[in-house]
Amino acid sequence: MNKLLFTFVFLCTSLLYGQQTIKNLQWLNVNRIITQSSIGNDVTLYAQTENIDNDEPVKITIWSKGDEKDDLVGEYHSIIRYNQIVFNWVLAFDIEKMENSMKEIEANGFTIPQYYFIIQYNTIKSEDSNLLAVKDTIRKQILFEGTNIPAINRGYTLLLPDKTIINGKTDYEGYVYIENLIIGTYYFYLHEEGDLDDLDDF
C-alpha cells in the first residue's frame, strides 16, 4: 500500500511540475550566437531551463573536442535565474591541459581547438553545446632591440604556423593586434627601410 501511494504521489508530482530539463545551449557574444572566438575574448555560455527553481546551483564543464578523447578545459559553477543560465567567461587556452591539441601541434605545427560545454543540475545533464572554434590573438608592442623604443608605423610580415603570410603595419604606439589566428608558433619580421630584420619567434 505504501509503495503504491508513493508511486501515485511521484507520478502526480511529475505531471504537476513537468520534467526538469536544461536545453538550448549556446555560445554568445553580446547576445549574438557565435561559432568561433579568439583567446582572451569575453564569451557567454547560455542555456534555458524548465521546471527548475530560481537560484538552484548548476555545474558547467567546458571541453575541447579530440579525436580519441576530449580534454577538460575547466569546471565552473553558476545558478539558475528566471529559467535561464548565463555564465560569462574569458576564453582561455592552457596548452599544458590540452593533450589532444598538443598532438596536433606536434604533427602539424598548429591547432584549432573546438570547445563545447555541458551543464548539470543534480542528476540532470544537458546535451553537449554546439562547437566553438578557438582562435589565437596577438596583442604585442614591438620594440627596437637594445633601445626599447616602440616601432611606430612600421611594416611587418607575420609567418603563421601553416605558412600563411600576413603583412601589416604597427600602430602609432608600435602595437600589433591581430585576431582569429590558428594556435601555434609565429615568426615575425619587422621591415627596415625596405629590408627584413632577422627572424624572430613571436
**Each residue of 138-172: pLDDT tens digit?**
989 999 888 889 999 999 999 998 889 999 999 99
Q: What is the DSSP string of 130-154?
A: PPEEEEEEEEEE-B-TTT--B-TT-
The Cα–Cα gap between 149 and 169 comes to 16
CATH level 3 topology of 2-135: Immunoglobulin-like (2.60.40)
CA 179 from centroid of its chain's CA atoms: 13
> Domains of the chain: which residue ranges?
2-135, 142-201
Q: Which pTM value belongs to this model? A: 0.80
**Each residue of 60-98: pLDDT tens digit?**
999 999 888 899 999 999 999 999 999 999 999 988 788
